[in-house]
């Protein structure tokens, strides 16, 4: 009985420490998106988000798997609130009428859950990805890249 009583606080302490260690950096109103997945902060809700890929990273972070070529990668982290979601990026004010490409990741090391290479001279044509089987409450990362 004594062994069980001592083990329970130890296990609970380890669980609390593990949960604390996995907390992402929350985005604040003034937060910038990141050029690398590993540095992306996490939005609770970014519906209607407007951003730029002007200062994006050409490699997108450490060893990222992508369906196209990266030129100006920007990462947006978020917490899923539903199991199915569609993400649409609409380019505007792009140099030479270039478009965007987007991908959704469950973490910073795996292949994308969905990816759309868009069109290099896509102008203002929206680019979308739809993903099902998301785990509500889990973190995901959206990559937006301008050609």
In a domain, 41, yes or no: yes
Give the pLDDT confidence score for residue 18 in this predicted structure.
42
Kindly state whether residue 4 falls inside one of the protein's structural domains. Answer: no
Contact between 49 and 43 under an 8 Å Cβ cutoff? The reply is yes
Domain count across the chain: 1
In a domain? residue 17: no
Distances (CA, A) of 123 to 81, 110, 147: 31, 30, 11
The range of the structural domain enclosing residue 46 comes to: 25-146
Query: In the prediction, which pLDDT does 132 show?
Result: 95
Query: What is the C-alpha separation between 62 and 129, in angstroms, rounded?
Result: 23
Q: Does residue 3 lie in a domain region?
A: no
* 22-61: pLDDT as tens digits: 556 788 765 667 888 888 889 887 777 777 777 676 766 6
Read off the tokens for 41.
Answer: 């902060």
Look at residue 7 and tell me if it is in a domain. no
Spans in the chain with pLDDT lower than 50: 4, 6-21
Is residue 139 domain-resident?
yes
In a domain, 13, yes or no: no
């Amino acid at each position: 009985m004594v062994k069980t009583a001592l083990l329970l606080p130890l296990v609970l302490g380890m669980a609390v420490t593990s949960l604390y260690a996995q907390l992402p950096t929350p985005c604040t109103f003034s937060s910038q998106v990141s050029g690398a997945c590993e540095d992306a902060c996490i939005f609770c809700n970014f519906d209607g988000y407007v951003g730029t890929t002007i200062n994006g990273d050409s490699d997108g972070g450490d060893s990222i798997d992508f369906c196209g070529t990266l030129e100006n990668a920007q990462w947006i982290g978020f917490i899923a609130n539903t199991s199915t979601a569609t993400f649409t990026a609409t380019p505007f004010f792009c140099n030479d009428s270039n478009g965007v490409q987007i991908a959704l990741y469950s973490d910073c090391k795996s292949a994308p859950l969905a990816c759309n290479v868009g069109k290099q001279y896509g102008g203002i044509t929206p680019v979308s990805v739809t993903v099902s089987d998301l785990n509500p409450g889990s973190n995901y990362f959206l990559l937006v890249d301008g050609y």
